[in-house]
Amino acid sequence: MKAVIIVATSRDNGNTVKCANALALSFPADIINLSHYQFSYYDYQNKNKDDDFLKLAEQICQYDLIIYASPIYWYAMSAQMKVFFDRLTDLVTIEKLLGRALKNKRNALISTGAEKVAPSCFVEPFALTADYFDMRFIGNYYLPVIQQEISEQHFEQYIVETTQALKQY
């Protein structure tokens, strides 16, 4: 099974990136960092169809398991992930075959945040988008970061448990 982790965060050295990098080594999975691509918000006139989004979508469609990685900002996905999700509209309008290629793929979510539990309103867009594209949403693997730093023991436990859970699918 080929897996990819799509990282969308403002900090290249933050907790979400740390989780994605460790998970990629133990699972294993490739990493795509959305900050390394140039694409803009959804445009009804498709003026941005020549940016990096469609090339990125073609690349992602080569994987069986797509794992999104986002910190929780104000109960929602990161701004980078939101723009990416909005651009998925291109896959049901101008590149329908590419959108259909997502069918039966599996999705998961790894996230970090300051609350003890990830809010359901954060997870819902990922699960509902998977349903819309006929993909299977496995779940959210959340790491609460109550303080700025994660204890090494807590972090290792999270990686082991998340890796084991993802390998079941």
pLDDT at residue 70 greater than cutoff 90: yes
The three-class DSSP label of residue 151 is coil
pLDDT tens-digit readout, 154-163: 778 877 888 8
Domains of the chain: 3-167 (3.40.50.360)
Over residues 72-97, the mean pLDDT reads 93
Question: Which pLDDT band, with edges at 50, 70 and 90, does 114 fall under?
Answer: confident
Q: How far apart are CA 56 and CA 63, in angstroms?
A: 12
pLDDT at 111: 94
Tallying the residues shown for the chain, one arrives at 169
State percent of the chain over pLDDT 70.
97
Q: Residues 6 or more apart from 14 whose CB is under 8 A from it? A: 71, 112
pLDDT at 11: 87
Q: How many contiguous H segments (helices) and E segments (strands) does the chain have?
A: 7, 5
**How many beta carbons lie within 10 A of that of residue 5, not counting itself?**
24
pLDDT at 61: 96
pLDDT at residue 148 greater than cutoff 80: no
